[in-house]
A = this chain, B = another copy of it.
Amino acid sequence: MTVYNAPVEDMKFVLNDVLQISKYSNLPGFSDASEDVVEAILEEGAKLASNVLHPLNQSGDKEGCTRHEDGSVTTPKGFKEAYNMFSEGGWQGLSFDPEYGGQGLPYILSVAINEMISSSNMAFGMYPGLAMGAALAIHAHGSDEQKQKYLPKMVSGEWGGTMNLTEPHCGTDLGLLRTKAVPQDDGSYKITGTKIFISAGEHDLTDNIIHLVLARIEGGPEGVKGISLFVVPKFHVNEDGSLGARNGVACGSIEEKMGIHGNSTCVMNYDDAVGYLIGEEHKGLRAMFTMMNEARLGVGLQGFAISEVAYQNGAAYANDRLQGRSLTGVAAPDKPADPIIVHPDVRRMLMDQRAFNEGGRAWMYWTALHADLHHKSEDEATRQKADDYMGLMTPILKAYLTEKGYAHATNAQQVLGGHGYIQEWGMEQFVRDARITMIYEGANGIQALDLVGRKLMKDGGRAWQAFFAEVDEFVADNEGNSDLKPYTDGLVAAKKDVEEATQWMAANAMQNFNNAGAGSMDYLHMFALLCLAHGWAQLAKAALDRKATGDGNSFYENKLITGKYFLERILPDTKSHLAKLKTGAESMMALPAEAF
């Protein structure tokens, strides 16, 4: 009953006008991504999302996944056919290394396609999403032999992939993990242990599943320093690439969850499963973080992707549902009541979502462009700066876009009133699906801690200093632009608040680390608002440029209005975050634990 139309025009505007990706044609892959090619790819992706994936979203939620007695798992009706279309369309390898069968197009294009997939059917999207994460980790840390063995089939979509970190007694704190790896004479390891919450852990979409598993080599150091990463294929892979016998890994059960029912979240039992070390002994965490960082950006993307599809359905209902009359006079005299979009508080909810979705997209794609720069630029300074940005932005994007994505899915549901609470209308599924994004790949509190405890002061604060300088430069470059002034003023004001917060942190965190922890989430939100203000200033500039060249399309005027709404109605939150942050840890930590 829900609909999804990929916002291709918005995507093109961000890629072509705001980020001007044609400027990067010196980077590998970018020269193939002309405006025409980008448009064609986005249009094809939009069709897949709207016509194939989205129609399976509600039915997939309702049916869920089924585990059979032999441990096999069936995905919801239609998922396999849809997956085949996805694979055969070459979508999995869109931006992957051509050496392993990928098309080598810019990563930023994959991000746009992933937005469509997550909006249209998040549970479905997790199957190829996890596989791609695993493929990237193998690509970054595997041996040549491992890459040749696994990547071509993973990139083609013939094989799936997973990441196995969490155990019943440890999620965040991986130092506690118990899964053990016993070295064998042939260089392989026997892996034994139980992993939980394994997304796409077992399913019927692919011929094989390549599990990446964190385990502790027998006799290795305790804590996180003794963790290694292993590749454990569901079916052994023969020398000629054909599939051999089943490995000692099986799905013990699937979780009954709040949402993403279309994805199989498995308890995975490893029982003397044969695994092969990826990268160095005891350095597994570093390798896993390659995958994790990729996954965290993907989760942030899910956050605003769900908000986008929820918004679309909320907006359609608001234009359709007749109830009450406009406060300023009858708007639809030919109807028994006005469409509820005339009511300011309905507008407020929709504009909140819209300002978030469009600003979030600009910010996310800007970050994705830096992933391309980091991996592909020939200039070391550019690579380093891009890497700095990725490190800094990853926790902020993940936590902010998911927390607000969930809030905005809830807002979109609210627009439907009572119908929003009824399953068949589909809005409550968006809320249930969005909810996991705040939790998995590192709960949002962990992201905030990563930001203030690690990313902020890394390399003496080089990352945020570079970002602040870029903001200053943008403001200076546009000083005479009076039309842009509200947006640059907002940007300057937000930056000032973040600077004050940063100084407060620097002055107070060392005497009591809890001051940093206590302010971490407020700080993350302030920083996110600054990034959105940066995104909106860029969107506004591009829209003004288009208007200046005589393009009278209302699209650009609407961008400017939505940006103004962001400045007026969302950005002021930096002030209250700052006020809260500066109160420190005292009242937060004062109660004894047993009082809770």
Contact = CB atoms under 8 A, between A and B. Distances in A.
A308 interface: no
Contacts of A573: 576
A258 B432 contact: yes
A384 B348 CA distance: 35
A590 B572 contact: no
Contact of A596 (B319, B422, B585): B319
A580 interface: yes
Interface size class of A (residues with CB under 8 A): 35 or more
A445 interface: yes
A440 B424 contact: no
Given A344-B520, A569-B587, A587-B568, A514 B328 contact: yes
Q: State the copy count for this chain.
A: 2
A347 B588 contact: yes
Nearest to A554: B595
Nearest to A340: B172
B414 A438 contact: yes
A333 interface: no
A51 B255 CA distance: 28
Contacts of A572: 576, 579-580
A344 B585 contact: yes
A343 B438 CA distance: 17
B417 A345 contact: no
A341 interface: yes
Nearest to A349: B445
A439 B349 CA distance: 14
Contacts of A288: none
B569 A423 contact: no
Interface in A187-208: 196-197
Interface string A229-264: 000000000000000000000000001111100000
A122 to B, nearest CB: 14
Contacts of A579: 572, 575
B576 A561 contact: no
Interface string A406-440: 10001001100110111110001001100110111
A449 B340 CA distance: 13
Nearest to A520: B345
B575 A587 contact: no
A327 interface: yes
A179 to B, nearest CB: 16
Interface in A57-104: none
A513 B564 CA distance: 21
